[in-house]
């Protein structure tokens, strides 16, 4: 019997492709700061996130910056989809939740047996790569306030409700920005009535205003995902 899923990729699979995956899917809880993929180490599982959010992080020595996020719209383990077994990036849970995971050999087997499933996962990989490209563009040319607004919107898209359990320190680390600058940007967004802040928690009040404050750093990856998956 085919189940209903909160993960958008799983929920939009054909009945046949979903039925082929479901026997291999295992429900797991995702703890904040849990590492799902280590740099340059073999990936053991792919995760279809149903609630929560993961950050994909590029590192160079002690330096690190976030290049993408994954929530209930997507999956981890895209190296497997690309017919390899590891990535130089680290994937870590930012917002706790739960997921359905599949062992790498089982995912490879399913992809080999279904052209439609492989094509579907490659479409998601395409949308994911567009997100990473626009993250690079935002980091290179966006003002810090715009980048903070974009990052809040990306988290907001992947949670239920208006509250985001995110700290200034974490946003700064993900953006590769100093905490004082992040604090100033957040204070300006709050002054304009777009967000409210409590310790360790941000409430989105005006999503449209936040999008306007992103200075066009937000939008194209989200539009591409919508075009591919509706």
pLDDT at position 133: 96
How confident is the prediction for the chain on average, in pLDDT? 94
Question: Among 3.40.50.11270, 1.10.3720.10, 3.30.2350.10, 1.10.10.10, what is the CATH number of 143-214?
Answer: 1.10.10.10
User: What's the mean pLDDT in 101-105?
Assistant: 98
> What is the pLDDT, as a whole number, of residue 3?
66
Nearest to 160 by CA among 29, 56, 72: 72
pLDDT tens for 167-193 read 999 899 889 899 999 999 999 999 999
Task: Give residue-wise pLDDT tens across range 48-92.
Answer: 999 999 999 998 888 899 999 999 999 999 999 999 999 999 999
Q: Is pTM, for the whole model, over 0.85?
A: yes
Q: Say if residue 213's pLDDT is above 70.
A: yes
* Annotated domain spans of the chain: 8-136, 143-214
Percent with pLDDT over 90 in the chain: 90
pLDDT of 1: 43
Site of tokens 């395409």: 126
**Hey, which CATH number is domain 8-136, 3.30.360.10, 1.10.10.10, 2.60.120.10, 2.160.20.60?**
2.60.120.10
Which runs of consecutive H residues, i.e. helices, occur in the chain? 8-11, 15-21, 78-81, 104-113, 115-141, 144-156, 168-175, 179-191, 207-213, 220-229
Kindly tell me if the per-residue pLDDT of 33 is higher than 50: yes
**Long-range contacts for 178-182 (Cβ within 8 Å, ≥24 apart)?**
181/144, 182/144, 182/148
Residue 119 has a pLDDT of 96
What pLDDT score was predicted for residue 4? 81
């Amino acid at each position: 019997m085919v189940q209903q899923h909160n993960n958008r990729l799983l929920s939009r699979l054909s009945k046949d492709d979903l039925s082929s995956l479901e026997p291999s899917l295992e429900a797991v809880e995702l703890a904040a700061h849990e590492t799902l993929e280590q740099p340059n180490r073999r990936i053991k599982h792919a995760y279809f996130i149903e609630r929560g959010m993961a950050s994909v992080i590029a590192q160079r020595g002690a330096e690190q910056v976030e290049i993408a996020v994954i929530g209930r719209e997507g999956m981890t383990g895209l190296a497997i989809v690309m017919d390899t077994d590891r990535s130089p990036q680290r994937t870590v849970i930012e917002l706790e939740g739960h997921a359905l995971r599949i062992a790498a050999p089982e995912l490879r087997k399913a992809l080999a047996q279904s052209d439609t499933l492989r094509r579907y996962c490659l479409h998601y990989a395409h949308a994911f790569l567009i997100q990473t490209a626009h993250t690079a563009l935002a980091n290179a040319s966006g003002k810090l306030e715009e980048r903070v607004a974009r990052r809040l919107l990306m988290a907001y898209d992947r949670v239920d409700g208006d509250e985001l359990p995110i700290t200034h320190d974490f946003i700064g680390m993900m953006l590769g920005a100093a905490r004082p600058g992040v604090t100033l940007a957040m204070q300006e967004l709050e002054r304009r009535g777009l967000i409210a802040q409590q310790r360790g928690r941000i409430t989105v009040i005006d999503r449209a205003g936040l999008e306007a404050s992103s200075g066009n750093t937000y939008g194209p990856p989200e539009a591409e995902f919508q075009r591919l998956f509706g």
